[in-house]
């Protein structure tokens, strides 16, 4: 899949996969997936439950090991690179299920990530009053996502929508060049999803974003390009307005209302 219409900065693609493939037993979950993300990409991956969306994010982030195919990050082959090293190279993800330290404060959750990025020790940070730059960095990200007033709360005390925002803050504090979001609004009550979309829209433009999303309204608002996965394969991919306008896609996936028939978020 070549996403030709997304912003290009002349330095070539940020992230590219070539024939990426993964099977669990006899079940082909990722079937020769080739995709390209350029700088500034706002790309949504859609597909029914079990289509292989989370597995794709797992393969990209290094949590799942591919059987064959290649993953390139800024021209570097990272197919066999450990996930922590991928993060250091600028490839960062969030999870479909919340992945926070519930008993740490909001600020500390971000500080752990800042320490990870800067190679410092979080334990040491607690005993040293200095490290103003670590704090500045963490507070800057919390400010950016509207979480600064919550910084002394425990993560578990936040409403679920704000917990998802905190995950985004943690990801941002790792200074991603490519950010992978696995259903950022999964499990979030309708009344809180607006906050998540607002935050997504405010993410720095130079970060390429691939998000898994079930909600068509979010896709229309946020994404400029879309891939539809089914049974591990790319069914169709292209500019969001072309995909939404395609009679085939509408007939197969969107129903008359334009809402995805598979628009059922799961928390698995
Ligand atoms: N570790 C695993 N072992 C065996 N099968 C797995 C494993 N992880 C995922 N699968 C299977 O791979 C298929 C794709 O799963 P995946 O979680 O990638 O789908 P998804 O598109 O993210 O679905 P959802 O919309 O429900 O989040 C499913 O059939 C799932 O049961
Ligand atoms: Mg999933």
pLDDT of 261 > 60? The answer is no
- Nearest alpha carbon, ligand 1 atom 1: 24
Both 70 and 193 in one domain: the answer is: yes
**What's the token pair of residue 32?**
């020769």
Is 231 within the bounds of a domain? yes
Q: How far is the CA of 128 from the centre of ligand 2 (A)?
A: 40
The total domain count for the chain is 2
> Which residue is it, tokens 């597995």?
55
| pTM value > 0.75 | yes
Tokens of 268: 């698995």
CB contact set of 133 (below 8 Å; sequence gap of 6+): none
Q: What is the DSSP string of 31-96?
A: EEEEEEE-TT-EEEEE--TTSSHHHHHHHHHTSS--SEEEEEETTEE-TT--HHHHHHTTEEE--S
Ligand nearest to the CA of 45: 1
Picking from 222, 194, 197, the residue whose alpha carbon sits closest to that of residue 46 is 222
State pLDDT tens for residues 172-216: 999 999 999 999 988 899 888 899 999 999 999 999 999 999 888
Q: Are residues 170 and 182 located together in one domain of the fold?
A: no
User: Averaged over 134-138, what is the pLDDT?
Assistant: 91
Residues 225 and 201 placed together within one structural domain of the fold: yes
**Could you tell me if residue 255 is inside a domain?**
yes
Asked if 7 and 60 sit in the same domain, the reply is yes
Token pair of 100, please? Answer: 């926070």
214-218, 227-231, 233-237: the lowest-pLDDT one: 214-218
Among the bound ligands, the one closest to the CA of 227: 1
- Residue 191 domain-assigned (yes or no): yes
DSSP classification of residue 250: I
Query: DSSP letter string over 90-143?
Result: TEEE--SS----TTSBHHHHHHHHHHHHHT--HHHHHH-S--HHHHHHHHHHHH
| Residue 96 forms part of a structural domain | no
State whether 150 and 183 are in the same domain. Answer: no
**Residues whose CB is less than 8 angstroms from the CB of residue 200 and which lie 6 or more positions away in sequence, other chains included:** 168, 181, 184, 209, 211, 218, 222
**Ligand 1: centre distance to CA 127 (Å):** 42
- CATH assignment at residue 21: 3.40.50.300
Share of the chain above pLDDT 90, in %: 67
**One domain for residues 209 and 146:** no
Domain that holds residue 107: 101-175
Rounded to a whole number of angstroms, the CA Rg of the chain reads 18
- Using CA positions, which residue lies closest to atom 5 of ligand 1? 24
């Amino acid at each position: 899949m070549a996403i030709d219409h997304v912003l290009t900065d002349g330095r070539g693609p940020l992230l590219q996969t070539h024939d990426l493939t993964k099977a669990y037993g006899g079940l082909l979950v990722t079937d020769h997936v080739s995709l390209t993300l350029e700088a500034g990409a706002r790309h949504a991956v859609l597909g029914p439950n079990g289509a292989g969306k989370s597995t794709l994010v797992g393969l990209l982030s290094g949590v799942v090991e591919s059987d064959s195919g290649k993953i390139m990050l800024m021209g570097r082959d990272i197919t066999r690179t450990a996930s922590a090293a991928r993060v250091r190279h600028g490839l960062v993800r969030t999870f479909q299920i919340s992945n926070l330290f519930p008993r740490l404060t909001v600020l500390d959750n971000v500080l752990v990530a800042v320490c990870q990025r800067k190679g410092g020790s979080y334990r040491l940070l607690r005993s040293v009053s200095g490290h103003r730059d670590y704090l500045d960095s963490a507070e800057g990200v919390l400010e950016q996502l509207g979480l600064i007033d919550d910084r002394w709360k425990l993560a578990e005390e936040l409403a679920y929508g704000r917990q998802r925002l905190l995950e985004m803050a943690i990801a941002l504090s790792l200074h991603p060049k490519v950010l992978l979001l696995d259903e950022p609004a999964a499990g979030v009550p309708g009344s809180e999803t607006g906050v998540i979309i607002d935050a997504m829209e405010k993410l720095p433009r130079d970060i390429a974003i691939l998000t898994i999303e079930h909600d068509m309204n979010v896709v229309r608002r946020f994404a400029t390009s879309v891939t539809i996965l089914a049974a591990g394969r790319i069914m169709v991919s292209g500019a969001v307005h072309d995909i939404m306008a395609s009679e085939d896609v509408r007939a197969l996936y969107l129903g008359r209302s334009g809402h995805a028939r598979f628009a059922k978020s799961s928390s698995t």
